[in-house]
Structure 1
Amino acid sequence: MSGIFLITVLVITGGAIAFIGDRLGTKIGKKRLSIFGLRPRHTSIVITIFTGIVITTLTFGVMAAASENVRTALFGMEKLNRTMQETRDSLLNTQADLAAAKDEQAQTDADLQHAKADVERLNKQQQSLEEEASLLQAGIDELEAAKAQLTALNEELTGTNKKLSADNEQLSADNKTLEDRTQQLRAGLITIREGDIAFRAGEIIASGVIHGNRNAEEVAADMDTLAALANRNVSARFGQDRSDEDIWIYRPEYEAAVEAIAKSHQDMVVRIVAAGNLVRGEEVRTSLELYPNSIIYRDKEFIIARPYDLGVGDDGEAEQTVMNFLKDVNFAATSKGILPDPIRGTVGVMEGAQFYEVVAQLRGQRGPVVLSAYANGNTDASGPLRLKINVERNVAN
């Protein structure tokens, strides 16, 4: 709108000035006026030129006054060009910066993708570390539990160690005693080899049945009585008086035997046997043997029967037949639970008169006979087994 207004003003102003200049030139031409001594025709030309200059000047003046852009175009073109050039340069720099920014943005995006990948990898590593931490914590808990168990076990072992120390002291004392006895044994080797052996190793010195399921004091009293019996048997065998202290029994073995008998619900057969060959004059070393006791054979109970076929019927054959039968009886009784003599291996006793009576019954007989053995009285595990032997003809044959 301002441009139309400006053009309108310029047209009106230019027309007015041209009209005024024309009128002025006409008057000057009619009046044949002269300026600066010029001819009228030349004066008219000068007036026309002046009028054109005025029109142009006035036009530019109005335009400059009315429009800042015109003023800028007339007086600030070079500055505007410089500004435009600077703007172009700035635009180029901005475009370059924008390109660099885009490159940087692309690099940033790539770095962001790498960062995301790193974050994802770190998350996985963190998850793995958390799982490992859980496993480690479980391991720590197990170690703590094991530590507690080891602590309890260590306390138990400490108590056991104290007990073992006390036992070791006792064993040391016993070992000293054994060493002294060893020295005595070494000194008596010649005597053992050449001297009079009263008891062989393993031979029963004394035996008896001690009732079980009682207090330890009562059992110990019976054990002392059995030890006194053993001492009397040793004195009788050696032919000299000996005190109870001469019967040496390992103290822990003695105490263990008392405790076992006291706790047993059965009576026990106790044997005091020689721990080695005993020579007249030396200390009697013994050991203890315990066996549960019970009635093995009742009075008149059948034990065993064997058939024999006699040929000659003389004394030699009869005695051998009886001896073979007694071996079978001994084996049967031992198998059933009667304790055999550790030296001879026998379990029974038979008077000589009865032996020769059976031999006499077999003497002179020929053909099949049957020998049968029966218990002569109740017999427990400690024995001895007393026999009654019957001789019968084998009618079936």
Structure 2
Amino acid sequence: MTSAYILIVAVLVMGGVLATLGDRIGTRVGKARLSLFKLRPRNTATVVTIITGSLISASTLGILFGLSESLRDGVFQLDDILKKLREARREVDLVNKQKTQGEKELATAKSQQAQVEQRLAQTNRSFQQAQTQLKKVSNQASILRKEIQSLLGERQKLIQEKNQLSQEKAQALNEKAKIIEEKNIALEEKDKALEEKAQALQAKDRVIADISQREKLLTKEVDSLLGERQRLIQEQNQLIENKDRIISEIKERETILKEAIDQKENLLEEIEVKLTQKEIEINQRDRERQELEKQLAFIQQQVDILEQYYQDYQDLRQGNVALLRGQVLAFRVVRVVEPKVASVALDQLLRDANRTAIDIIQPSNSDPKEPLVQITENQANQFINEIKDGQDYVVRLLSAGNYVLGEKQIQVFADAVLNQVVFQSDDILSSTNIDPATMSDAQIQQRLDQLLTVSQFRARRAGILGKIQIGDGNAAPLVRFIEQVRKSNQPLDVTTVAGEETYTAGPLKIKLVAIKNGQVLFSN
């Protein structure tokens, strides 16, 4: 009780605090003319107030339903429990979907990692090819440098030779003009050769420059490839980190999912237990209701029978009633194999009923000209349709009213009941206790009469329509049984049982059995 008061006070305090806070926030938002979601300031204040009210309701409901299990059970009961069950199943499906989505993301990350690894492998191959090409260019550059060095050496030699020739030319100017001219010619030719070699050297210098430029470009490409490789390695590391993060998230989700599934399974078990209890209660109530309905129907039937008996009694007092309402005029067990024979069975039953009615109503008329018993056409058709399915039926024709002596017409109605097993051999009908030591002969006889009456009543109620008799109908065994009960001088349990397997048509042979401490002492 104290916890309930504390809960109510906490809800009221929180509601007041949130209301005040929402009002202050709405007032400040309105004064500051703030705007949310491109709304007007007034609408923004309204939205803030709505959100605050929603928070009040949510917090109130959260506190009530979160802290008071009895309140939850009192509010929701069975319907809410079923709704929670459906929500739990939907949450499990959602978690399964999230798990599937995480697995898909993991598969996508793995595929991206594979693609990055392929790109990295391709980059490595490109880098190796560039290194190979760089080695080739470096080898070519080394060869060209060697050639340049050899050409420079030849040029130096030619320069030295030129200088030497110039000295020789200077020394021989005065002596041999002709030789100088020849030398000049030779020098000119050599100059031409030197110029050609110089041009060749310039061409080689240009090739060397081109090679240097290509070397720089290749170096830049190698640097860019190294940068690309480094970037791909970083991306791979990032993907590996993402993969690890996704795996850890999946593990966490699996843990959460497992806990949620365990909780839901516990909740489902509790719900199933409650549902089972409810079903047991409902079934118990249904059985009680059916039993009450049966008792009510039986009581109503008994009331109708008593009313009929009273009416018959009044009729008996007022006149000479020879035939009572509901009295059986004809009784047979029939099986109609062919539907066309059903009408023949009804005609035979009507003839039997007519003879019985004549014997009761007109005993002096031995040869009536017209049939005394009549049945309506609708009842006859209904009766024929009921018995033409090829099964055994107990059929009866009963009087529809009370008739006095001399009646000219008697209206009857037909009744058909399946001839099926009602009692097995030794099925108990009723029982009573008798103590011959303390009871007189009249009391013993009265107790046995009551036992037989109750047994006959229960047999009729169970569906026996035919004859009910004690044993084979001979009174001698019954008399001997009564004498044995009187002479026993000890308390006995006397039970009535079915003497043999009995169908609806009867006859039911009642067997009396005397029992002491669960052992049969004697029977009729």
On whether the aligned pair clears a TM of 0.5, the verdict is: no
Q: Which has the larger radius of gyration?
A: 1
- Give the structure with the larger helix fraction: 2
Band the TM-score falls in, shorter-chain normalisation: 0.3 to 0.5
TM-score (norm 1): 0.44
Higher relative contact order (CA 8 A, sep 6+): 1
TM-score (norm 2): 0.34
